[in-house]
Protein backbone atom coordinates (compact mmCIF):
# COMPACT_ATOMS: atom_id res chain seq x y z
CA UNK A 1 0.00 0.00 0.00
CA UNK A 2 2.85 2.37 0.85
CA UNK A 3 4.63 1.67 -2.44
CA UNK A 4 1.39 2.17 -4.34
CA UNK A 5 0.85 5.54 -2.68
CA UNK A 6 4.44 6.79 -2.59
CA UNK A 7 4.89 8.20 -6.09
CA UNK A 8 1.44 9.86 -6.42
CA UNK A 9 1.77 11.35 -2.94
CA UNK A 10 5.25 12.61 -3.77
CA UNK A 11 3.97 14.30 -6.94
CA UNK A 12 1.13 15.97 -5.05
CA UNK A 13 3.44 17.12 -2.25
CA UNK A 14 5.79 18.59 -4.85
CA UNK A 15 2.84 20.33 -6.54
CA UNK A 16 1.62 21.73 -3.24
CA UNK A 17 5.14 22.82 -2.22
CA UNK A 18 5.70 24.64 -5.49
CA UNK A 19 2.34 26.35 -5.17
CA UNK A 20 2.92 27.44 -1.57
CA UNK A 21 6.58 28.40 -1.73
CA UNK A 22 6.73 29.43 -5.41
CA UNK A 23 6.07 33.14 -4.69
CA UNK A 24 9.19 33.19 -2.51
CA UNK A 25 11.47 31.71 -5.19
CA UNK A 26 13.63 33.98 -7.40
CA UNK A 27 11.60 33.40 -10.55
CA UNK A 28 11.34 35.52 -13.69
CA UNK A 29 8.35 34.06 -15.55
CA UNK A 30 7.71 37.21 -17.58
CA UNK A 31 11.30 38.14 -18.42
CA UNK A 32 11.51 38.45 -22.22
CA UNK A 33 14.86 37.63 -23.85
CA UNK A 34 14.53 37.84 -27.62
CA UNK A 35 17.82 36.01 -28.43
CA UNK A 36 16.49 32.95 -26.60
CA UNK A 37 13.18 32.62 -28.46
CA UNK A 38 12.16 28.94 -28.87
CA UNK A 39 15.53 27.67 -27.63
CA UNK A 40 15.37 24.12 -26.20
CA UNK A 41 16.51 23.19 -22.72
CA UNK A 42 20.10 23.52 -21.59
CA UNK A 43 22.13 23.25 -18.40
CA UNK A 44 20.90 26.61 -17.11
CA UNK A 45 17.25 26.41 -18.23
CA UNK A 46 16.16 22.77 -18.22
CA UNK A 47 12.90 23.24 -20.10
CA UNK A 48 13.96 25.90 -22.60
CA UNK A 49 12.21 29.11 -23.62
CA UNK A 50 8.90 30.02 -25.23
CA UNK A 51 8.01 32.15 -28.26
CA UNK A 52 8.89 35.35 -26.39
CA UNK A 53 12.10 34.07 -24.84
CA UNK A 54 10.56 33.53 -21.40
CA UNK A 55 11.85 30.61 -19.27
CA UNK A 56 9.36 27.74 -19.41
CA UNK A 57 10.53 26.31 -16.08
CA UNK A 58 9.69 29.52 -14.23
CA UNK A 59 6.32 29.77 -15.96
CA UNK A 60 5.60 26.13 -15.16
CA UNK A 61 6.06 26.83 -11.45
CA UNK A 62 3.74 29.83 -11.63
CA UNK A 63 1.19 27.66 -13.43
CA UNK A 64 1.43 25.12 -10.60
CA UNK A 65 0.53 27.84 -8.12
CA UNK A 66 -2.51 28.92 -10.14
CA UNK A 67 -3.81 25.39 -10.72
CA UNK A 68 -3.38 24.55 -7.03
CA UNK A 69 -5.22 27.67 -5.91
CA UNK A 70 -8.10 27.14 -8.35
CA UNK A 71 -8.41 23.42 -7.63
CA UNK A 72 -8.64 23.67 -3.87
CA UNK A 73 -10.74 26.85 -3.89
CA UNK A 74 -13.32 25.31 -6.21
CA UNK A 75 -13.39 21.93 -4.46
CA UNK A 76 -13.68 23.49 -1.00
CA UNK A 77 -16.46 25.86 -2.06
CA UNK A 78 -18.35 23.20 -4.03
CA UNK A 79 -17.99 20.62 -1.25
CA UNK A 80 -19.32 22.91 1.47
CA UNK A 81 -22.21 24.34 -0.55
CA UNK A 82 -23.21 21.07 -2.17
CA UNK A 83 -22.98 19.00 1.02
CA UNK A 84 -25.02 21.46 3.09
CA UNK A 85 -27.73 21.92 0.46
CA UNK A 86 -27.97 18.22 -0.34
CA UNK A 87 -28.10 17.22 3.33
CA UNK A 88 -30.73 19.78 4.25
CA UNK A 89 -32.85 18.89 1.23
CA UNK A 90 -32.88 15.18 2.03
CA UNK A 91 -33.51 15.77 5.73
CA UNK A 92 -36.40 18.22 5.20
CA UNK A 93 -37.98 16.21 2.38
CA UNK A 94 -41.35 17.01 0.88
CA UNK A 95 -41.80 19.69 -1.74
CA UNK A 96 -38.49 21.30 -0.75
CA UNK A 97 -36.61 18.14 -1.68
CA UNK A 98 -38.62 17.80 -4.89
CA UNK A 99 -37.82 21.36 -5.96
CA UNK A 100 -34.15 20.80 -5.11
CA UNK A 101 -34.00 17.63 -7.22
CA UNK A 102 -35.54 19.47 -10.17
CA UNK A 103 -32.94 22.22 -9.81
CA UNK A 104 -30.18 19.59 -9.87
CA UNK A 105 -31.73 18.05 -12.99
CA UNK A 106 -31.58 21.44 -14.71
CA UNK A 107 -27.87 21.77 -13.96
CA UNK A 108 -27.19 18.20 -15.06
CA UNK A 109 -28.98 18.82 -18.35
CA UNK A 110 -25.95 20.84 -19.49
CA UNK A 111 -22.49 19.29 -19.97
CA UNK A 112 -20.36 20.60 -17.11
CA UNK A 113 -17.47 21.98 -19.12
CA UNK A 114 -19.80 23.68 -21.63
CA UNK A 115 -21.71 25.34 -18.79
CA UNK A 116 -18.42 26.49 -17.26
CA UNK A 117 -17.32 27.92 -20.62
CA UNK A 118 -20.62 29.77 -20.98
CA UNK A 119 -20.43 31.19 -17.46
CA UNK A 120 -16.80 32.23 -17.86
CA UNK A 121 -17.64 33.84 -21.20
CA UNK A 122 -20.49 35.84 -19.66
CA UNK A 123 -18.52 36.94 -16.59
CA UNK A 124 -15.33 37.60 -18.52
CA UNK A 125 -11.83 36.15 -18.25
CA UNK A 126 -9.91 36.11 -14.99
CA UNK A 127 -8.92 33.72 -12.24
CA UNK A 128 -11.72 34.78 -9.89
CA UNK A 129 -14.36 34.21 -12.55
CA UNK A 130 -12.87 30.79 -13.30
CA UNK A 131 -13.29 29.83 -9.64
CA UNK A 132 -16.89 31.07 -9.63
CA UNK A 133 -17.77 29.33 -12.91
CA UNK A 134 -16.27 25.99 -11.91
CA UNK A 135 -17.88 26.19 -8.45
CA UNK A 136 -21.32 26.80 -9.96
CA UNK A 137 -20.84 23.68 -12.04
CA UNK A 138 -19.13 21.60 -9.34
CA UNK A 139 -21.49 21.86 -6.36
CA UNK A 140 -24.16 19.75 -8.07
CA UNK A 141 -22.24 16.49 -7.81
CA UNK A 142 -21.62 16.91 -4.08
CA UNK A 143 -25.24 17.90 -3.45
CA UNK A 144 -26.53 14.86 -5.31
CA UNK A 145 -24.19 12.52 -3.44
CA UNK A 146 -24.94 14.09 -0.04
CA UNK A 147 -28.69 13.85 -0.65
CA UNK A 148 -28.48 10.18 -1.63
CA UNK A 149 -26.35 9.35 1.42
CA UNK A 150 -28.63 11.20 3.84
CA UNK A 151 -31.71 9.44 2.49
CA UNK A 152 -30.07 6.12 3.36
CA UNK A 153 -29.01 7.06 6.91
CA UNK A 154 -31.60 9.49 8.27
CA UNK A 155 -33.87 6.66 9.44
CA UNK A 156 -31.18 5.07 11.60
CA UNK A 157 -31.90 4.59 15.29
CA UNK A 158 -29.50 7.19 16.66
CA UNK A 159 -30.88 9.84 14.28
CA UNK A 160 -34.45 9.04 15.27
CA UNK A 161 -33.41 9.11 18.93
CA UNK A 162 -31.98 12.60 18.46
CA UNK A 163 -35.26 13.70 16.88
CA UNK A 164 -37.23 12.15 19.75
CA UNK A 165 -35.31 14.02 22.45
CA UNK A 166 -35.91 17.33 20.66
CA UNK A 167 -32.54 18.00 19.03
CA UNK A 168 -32.63 20.88 16.56
CA UNK A 169 -32.39 20.13 12.82
CA UNK A 170 -29.05 21.94 12.67
CA UNK A 171 -27.59 19.75 15.41
CA UNK A 172 -28.94 16.60 13.80
CA UNK A 173 -27.40 17.55 10.47
CA UNK A 174 -24.01 18.59 11.86
CA UNK A 175 -23.61 15.94 14.59
CA UNK A 176 -25.47 12.91 13.25
CA UNK A 177 -25.75 13.09 9.47
CA UNK A 178 -22.65 14.83 8.11
CA UNK A 179 -20.20 12.59 10.03
CA UNK A 180 -21.87 9.51 8.55
CA UNK A 181 -21.66 10.72 4.96
CA UNK A 182 -18.23 12.36 5.15
CA UNK A 183 -16.28 9.39 3.72
CA UNK A 184 -17.91 9.30 0.25
CA UNK A 185 -17.82 13.09 0.09
CA UNK A 186 -14.08 13.11 0.80
CA UNK A 187 -13.50 10.54 -1.94
CA UNK A 188 -15.62 12.57 -4.35
CA UNK A 189 -13.63 15.69 -3.46
CA UNK A 190 -10.33 13.91 -4.16
CA UNK A 191 -11.48 13.02 -7.67
CA UNK A 192 -12.97 16.49 -8.04
CA UNK A 193 -9.52 18.07 -7.73
CA UNK A 194 -8.42 16.35 -10.93
CA UNK A 195 -11.52 17.55 -12.76
CA UNK A 196 -10.99 21.14 -11.66
CA UNK A 197 -7.33 21.11 -12.70
CA UNK A 198 -8.39 19.98 -16.18
CA UNK A 199 -11.26 22.48 -16.21
CA UNK A 200 -8.99 25.40 -15.32
CA UNK A 201 -6.48 24.35 -17.96
CA UNK A 202 -9.26 24.05 -20.53
CA UNK A 203 -10.67 27.49 -19.80
CA UNK A 204 -7.20 29.04 -19.92
CA UNK A 205 -6.53 27.21 -23.20
CA UNK A 206 -9.64 28.89 -24.63
CA UNK A 207 -8.57 32.30 -23.34
CA UNK A 208 -11.24 32.45 -20.61
CA UNK A 209 -8.94 31.83 -17.66
CA UNK A 210 -5.65 33.37 -16.66
CA UNK A 211 -4.73 36.29 -18.89
CA UNK A 212 -1.34 37.25 -20.27
CA UNK A 213 1.30 37.77 -19.13
CA UNK A 214 0.40 35.44 -16.21
CA UNK A 215 1.19 31.78 -16.81
CA UNK A 216 -1.20 28.85 -16.70
CA UNK A 217 -0.61 25.32 -17.89
CA UNK A 218 -3.57 25.63 -20.25
CA UNK A 219 -2.43 28.92 -21.76
CA UNK A 220 1.13 27.57 -22.09
CA UNK A 221 -0.18 24.60 -24.08
CA UNK A 222 -2.25 26.95 -26.25
CA UNK A 223 0.76 29.15 -27.00
CA UNK A 224 2.89 26.13 -27.80
CA UNK A 225 0.50 24.54 -30.31
CA UNK A 226 1.62 27.05 -32.95
CA UNK A 227 5.21 25.86 -32.65
CA UNK A 228 4.76 22.10 -32.26
CA UNK A 229 7.10 21.25 -35.13
CA UNK A 230 9.93 23.62 -34.23
CA UNK A 231 9.62 23.83 -30.42
CA UNK A 232 7.71 20.84 -29.04
CA UNK A 233 9.09 21.53 -25.56
CA UNK A 234 6.59 24.40 -25.23
CA UNK A 235 3.75 21.85 -25.16
CA UNK A 236 5.49 18.82 -23.67
CA UNK A 237 6.49 20.52 -20.40
CA UNK A 238 3.09 21.88 -19.31
CA UNK A 239 1.27 18.89 -20.80
CA UNK A 240 3.42 16.45 -18.85
CA UNK A 241 2.95 18.45 -15.64
CA UNK A 242 -0.82 18.46 -16.14
CA UNK A 243 -0.88 14.73 -16.83
CA UNK A 244 1.23 13.85 -13.79
CA UNK A 245 -0.86 15.93 -11.39
CA UNK A 246 -4.17 14.57 -12.67
CA UNK A 247 -2.88 10.99 -12.65
CA UNK A 248 -1.50 11.37 -9.12
CA UNK A 249 -4.79 12.81 -7.85
CA UNK A 250 -6.78 9.97 -9.41
CA UNK A 251 -4.46 7.32 -7.96
CA UNK A 252 -4.68 8.95 -4.55
CA UNK A 253 -8.46 9.03 -4.89
CA UNK A 254 -8.52 5.30 -5.70
CA UNK A 255 -6.41 4.54 -2.65
CA UNK A 256 -8.54 6.77 -0.45
CA UNK A 257 -11.72 5.09 -1.68
CA UNK A 258 -10.34 1.63 -0.85
CA UNK A 259 -9.05 2.80 2.53
CA UNK A 260 -12.40 4.29 3.54
CA UNK A 261 -14.38 1.32 2.23
CA UNK A 262 -15.17 -0.65 5.38
CA UNK A 263 -16.75 -3.54 3.44
CA UNK A 264 -13.66 -3.94 1.27
CA UNK A 265 -11.38 -3.98 4.33
CA UNK A 266 -13.62 -6.55 6.02
CA UNK A 267 -13.44 -8.87 3.01
CA UNK A 268 -9.64 -8.61 2.96
CA UNK A 269 -9.45 -9.52 6.64
Residue-wise pLDDT for 131-188, tens only, equals 999 999 999 999 999 999 888 888 777 788 877 887 777 788 777 788 888 888 988 9
CATH architecture of 2-22+54-268: Orthogonal Bundle (1.10)
The domain segmentation of the chain, as residue ranges, is: 2-22+54-268
Residue-wise pLDDT for 58-109, tens only, equals 999 999 999 999 999 999 999 999 998 998 888 888 888 899 999 998 888 8
| pTM greater than 0.85 | yes
Other CB atoms closer than 10 Å to residue 175's CB: what's the count? Answer: 14
More confident residue, 111 or 66: 66
Residues near 229 by Cβ (< 8 Å), separated by ≥ 6?
A: none
Amino acid sequence: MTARLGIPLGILLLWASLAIFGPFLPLSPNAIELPKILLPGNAQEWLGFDDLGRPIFDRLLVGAEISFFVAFSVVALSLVVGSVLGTMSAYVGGWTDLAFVRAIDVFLAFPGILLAIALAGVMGPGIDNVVIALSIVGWVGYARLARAQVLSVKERDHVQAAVAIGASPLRIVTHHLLPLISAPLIVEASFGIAGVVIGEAGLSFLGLGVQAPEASWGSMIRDGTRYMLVAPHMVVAPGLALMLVVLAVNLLGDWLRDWLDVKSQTRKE
